[in-house]
Amino acid sequence: MHSLTISQADPRPMYLQIVEQIRHRVAVGDWAAGQEIPSIRALAVATRVSIITVKRAYLELEREGVIVTRQGKGSFVSDSVDLGASLLQQQLTQHLSAAVDVGQQLGLTAGELASRLREIAGTKARASDE
Amino acid sequence: MNEYMVELAGVSKAYRFFSLQDIHLRLAPGQIMGFVGPNGAGKSTTLRILMAFVQQDRGDVRVLGYRMPQDQAEAKREIGYVSEDTRLYGGATLDWHMRFIASVYPSWDAKYAQTLLHRFNLEAQQTIKGLSHGERMKASLLLVLARRPRLLVLDEPTTGLDPVARHEILTEFIDVLSDERRAVIFSSQTTQDIELISDQITFIDRGRIIESRDKETFIDRWRRLQLDVPAGITLPTLAAVTDVVTSGRIATITTNDFSPQIPAAYTEAGAVVREVQRMTLEEIFVANVMRSRKETTA
Amino acid sequence: MSRSIVKRLLLKDLYFARHLIVGSIVLGFGCLGLSISGPVSFYVGTVSLLCVLIVLNIFLVVSGVVNERKERTQLFVLSLPISTGQYMRWKLAFGFLAFFVPWLILTIAAVVVIDVSVIPNGFIPFAVIVLMYLLFYNVLLLSVTLANDSLAWNTAIIIFGNISINFVIAYLMAMPAVNHSLWGREAVWNTQEIAILAVEVGLSLVTLGLGFLFASRKRDFI
């Protein structure tokens, strides 16, 4: 059945894990555009997490336009074509936006932030070469 | 009838060395409420008052719309209760208990009972005294789950169980919720379980409810900040901060109402915010209890 | 629905106590047999009979009420769809019935045995009064145990019962009204003996009533 995996060891909040897993399924096409997705309750039971966590995840996904809920009919993946690519773009925007927030808290300028980004990208590229 | 499955209003109960004071609690249908508190906080007492095993000195108790303890016989038809110290009859078999419960409750689902027997790895023909603690808990839960009561009241159902048994049992609890007219209230010392499956969380300490709200709000509003405080800088006192621990140049801030203004205020004062961490339910629970104890002694 | 549950619980309790009930009847008959097989064994037999009934009483109350409380099977039962009032009435009914049936059988048997055997029939009123005292004691122990949770009280009543039976017997034997006709061939019921019997029955009923009253007012079961 449609069940996701929640890790309590993951520092990210549970609802976010759900959001990302659903986004990923849509991005790779497992959950097709326009397809009906499990009700909040059904997914909660299948994944063995609280309903309120799934509810929050669905709210977030709706905000992002990944899913739509039709009153009395259930929840569906959005009808948008090419959702995959735009979702990844959205993901990138969110990650970068979060990085900017943290950078602000640390008191970094945009330039300092950019050079940190390049530094990390470089390290990762070297690591994958080895 | 009433829209709430459980409603406690102004409930108080005094014992010689402990008293439950002014308890307010509400559980809507289709939800799981996790009831967290240190030992001796009053979790068991509250649940016993709910079940009319103990009568409150003051306050109203309504369960499934029935007044307790006056209408307890009717209410208990649709409630399933298991506590960590419930005992079944040692000399009888699990099968005897199953037949006994089936004869008392028309809602007994024999097929589901068999499924649970297999899932919980229990032998119906075994006598209760031969079972380990974990097996006895599973047996008690089986007897309660198989008759599909509208409300499950569980007092530390997972204490003393191995991780596999806990996982099996939590799965059954949440399965109850696939019917949105049912509800579960369970107390636990294992904050991990509460964190995973509860919709609503209620904290209790020393006979008082400290806080009761939905889980996501809890987890969202509490944060821990790690600050580097250079010499000569005084940290501002912020309303939403419940605790400040300083050790040399390092300060750990705990807040129960996080917003971006908080790290901003510290940065403005000259401190460096090294990290903003979310807190586990266990950490929130401890911080909440500490905060409430400080407030009551202040 | 609740009434039939109480009936079912009562049957369950009687079923669980079946060895105790049947065993005490059998033992009681054994004691009666012993009492007619000679002058020494008469005393042994009669005293043993009283012991059997006292022990049965204690066991019933302890296993039926005290143990259930201690072992927390009480929680299992209280979570059934019965009210706490019904729970009390059930326990009272069990504690009384499970004693009354063997008691009645053995009392009738004792009277018959005295009648047909070499034991003088003058003993019959004396025997009935003593046995009735044990029934009163059962009601007392049951009522006290149900009305409160104090182990100290229960123990006190148990000790009281064990000691008092001796005083009752001694007192009765010393009473001229009883003493005169004790060794006679006929069972003679004089007004004093009847009065004593009436007092015993009356006290039993009052104790039962009071016990039930206090038990019904109980608010905390754990």
69-108 in chain A: CB under 8 A from chain B: 101-102, 105-107
Residue B139 CA from chain centroid, whole number: 21
Q: How confident is the model at residue C65 (pLDDT cuts 50, 70, 90)?
A: low
Q: How confident is the model at residue B1 (pLDDT cuts 50, 70, 90)?
A: very low
Each domain of chain C, given as residue ranges in start order, spans: 2-216
Which of A8, A50, A107 is the closest to B32 by Cβ?
A50
State residue C67's pLDDT score.
67
Are residues B76 and C86, on separate chains, in Cβ contact within 8 Å? no
Are residues B87 and C222, on separate chains, in Cβ contact within 8 Å? no
Q: CA nearest C190: which of C203, C179, C201?
A: C179
Q: Provide Rg for chain A, Cα atoms.
A: 17
Q: Chain A contacts of B274, Cβ < 8 Å?
A: 106
Are residues B178 and A48, on separate chains, in Cβ contact within 8 Å? no
State residue C96's pLDDT score.
87
* Alpha helices (H) along B204-297: 215-221, 261-269, 281-297
Element (H, E) at B79: strand B79-83
pLDDT in tens, B172-186: 888 888 888 999 999
B104 touches chain C (CB under 8 A): yes
Average pLDDT estimate for C119-140: 87
Which of C16, C71, C82 is the closest to B87 by Cβ?
C71
- Work out whether strand B151-155 and strand B79-83 pair parallel, antiparallel, or are unpaired: parallel
B99 touches chain C (CB under 8 A): no
- State the sign of the Cα–Cα–Cα–Cα dihedral C135, C140, C141, C142: positive
Angle at CA of residue B293, ends B290 and B296, nearest 5° = 150
Contact criterion met (CB below 8 Å) for C104 and C53: no
Q: Is the pLDDT of residue A55 over 50?
A: yes
Q: Is the pLDDT of residue A82 over 60?
A: no
State residue B9's pLDDT score.
95
Q: Chain B contacts of A48, Cβ < 8 Å?
A: 170-171, 174, 196-197
Which of A15, A51, A106 is the closest to B177 by Cβ?
A51
Average pLDDT estimate for A76-87: 70
State residue B298's pLDDT score.
65
Q: Is B278 exposed, middle or buried (0-12, 13-18, 19+ CB in 10 A)?
A: middle
pLDDT in tens, B18-54: 999 999 999 999 999 999 998 889 999 999 999 999 9
Average pLDDT estimate for C115-140: 86
Token pair belonging to B77 = 């038809």
Contact criterion met (CB below 8 Å) for A56 and B216: yes
Q: How many CA atoms lie within 13 A of A23 on its CB side?
A: 23
Give partners of B (≥3 CB pairs < 8 A): A, C
Q: Is the pLDDT of residue B160 over 50?
A: yes
Which of C8, C72, C83 is the closest to B104 by Cβ?
C8
State residue B168's pLDDT score.
87
Count interface pairs A-B at CB distance under 8 A.
62
Q: How confident is the model at residue B6 (pLDDT cuts 50, 70, 90)?
A: very high
Task: Report DSSP letters for C163-180, one per residue.
Answer: HHHHHHHHHHHH-HHHHH
Which of B48, B76, B80 is the closest to C222 by Cβ?
B48
Test mutation, B27, B200, B216, chain A, max A CBs within 10 A: B216
Q: CA nearest B76: which of B106, B92, B52?
A: B52
What residues pair up with A76 in beta bridges, in sequence order?
A36, A68
Name all domains of chain A by residue range, CATH numbers in brackets: 14-77 (1.10.10.10), 83-129 (no CATH)
